[in-house]
Amino acid sequence: MQNSNSFRFSISSLASACAVVLLTACGGGGSAESTTAAQTTVNADQTQVVAAASTPSSNSTSSVTVQPTETGGTADSVTAPQPSANLADAGTGTDTAPAPTPSPVTEDTSKPATTPVSTPASTPAPATTPAPAPAPAAVMPYGQSSTAYTLTFSDEFNSSYDTNVWNDHIWYEASNATKNYTVEDGKLKIWPQRDASGNFFNRTIDTDGKFYQTYGYFEMEAKLPYGKGTWPAFWLFNHEAGAHPYRPEIDILEAYAGGGPNSGWSDSALRPTAYAATVWPNGIEGGPHAGSKTFANLGDLSAGFHKYGVKWEPNKITFYFDGKEMYSVDASMNHRMYIILDLWYGSASGTPDDSTPQGKGNSFEVNYVRAWQFQ
């Protein structure tokens, strides 16, 4: 296909044109003295190749102009520079070879180019995860089988006083505005104190309406107060059945430091050395009790902490001191009860007076209260 902007360029025509150029440059086919430019025209496939030689006296550049045959339009021209030849040297018989054409640099493709391989950054070893700390051993009643119980209630008093668990008065009394209890140093503390009227007053801390349980093991670790009139207690109670006589009660600990050495409850300094446990299946006023016992000669119970516990079974109630069985009563008590801790005054301890030490230094200190159910 032909048009004004294209031409066909054959290999044979190009070869002929090159031959003419070389002959002219070397002086072949004409006299060295000739001043007439030699011109050879080769027509091949509608393409003209024109070679022109300049006069021998001038250094000129030979060129090859390739022009397509006009077919109604202006032809584009391409000029390729050629090595120059000194025709004067050719006339003296000294041949000057044209400057050698540098061999094209060929790329060795026999082997593929090596692609640089980047070394990946080393991945740091993952941090070693420490083994989880072993789960703490389950807390069990002191001296009891580790497989016989499931913990159902625990206050270790390691933070603040928890009003979601405890009330600060018994149901038939109002709370006294004078503050004589707190939670600090990991303990619940209740101490003897006169109120705004100058009287010693009862303080009860209980779970009435908040925690109840039927059967199981109940335990407190505590240090008792001392002095005239002091009456600390740890007990279980129920007043849901209405008025007396039916209000079941288990007194796990009651101490009467004000009784003095002749009472068997305390020493001459009115330090508690004994406590009592009692079972009231029908309440105090509904009597009689099912059993009661005083545990004497235990040393000063205000000098250190001891564990006071009870195992309440359907037909038997057993009391423990520091894990040792102290006393048991055959009794059936099947109504749920709640936990009470209190510091009251009177009874076998007498009436408190000015000799009764007041303040935190003479506290009923409770380290923990716990309850378990039988498995």
Amino acid identity at 310: V
224 in a domain, yes or no? yes
The boundaries of the domain holding residue 184 are: 149-374
4 in a domain, yes or no? no
Task: Name the pLDDT band for 291 (thresholds 50, 70, 90).
Answer: very high
Structure-model confidence comparison of residues 113 and 315, the more confident one:
315
What is the C-alpha to C-alpha distance for residues 190 and 362, in angstroms, rounded to an integer?
8
Structure-model confidence comparison of residues 157 and 34, the more confident one:
157
CATH number reported for the structural domain that contains residue 246 in this entry: 2.60.120.200
Predicted structure pTM score: 0.65
What is the C-alpha to C-alpha distance for residues 17 and 168, in angstroms, rounded to an integer?
124
* 183 and 307 co-located in one domain: yes
* 83 and 195 co-located in one domain: no
Number of domains in the chain: 2
Q: Which residue has the tokens 């070869």?
A: 15
* 202 and 340 co-located in one domain: yes
* 53 and 187 co-located in one domain: no
Identify the helix (H) or strand (E) that includes residue 150. Answer: strand 149-155
Q: What is the mean pLDDT of residues 73-79?
A: 38
131 in a domain, yes or no? no
Least confidently predicted of 86-90, 262-266, 275-279, 340-344 = 86-90
* 354 and 246 co-located in one domain: yes
What are the tens digits of pLDDT across the range 121-168?
555 555 555 555 554 567 999 999 989 999 999 999 999 999 999 999
Identify the helix (H) or strand (E) that includes residue 349. Answer: none
* 68 and 163 co-located in one domain: no
The dihedral sign for the CA sequence 49, 43, 41, 85: positive
* 350 and 241 co-located in one domain: yes
Q: What is the mean pLDDT of residues 207-234?
A: 98
Structure-model confidence comparison of residues 260 and 129, the more confident one:
260
1 in a domain, yes or no? no
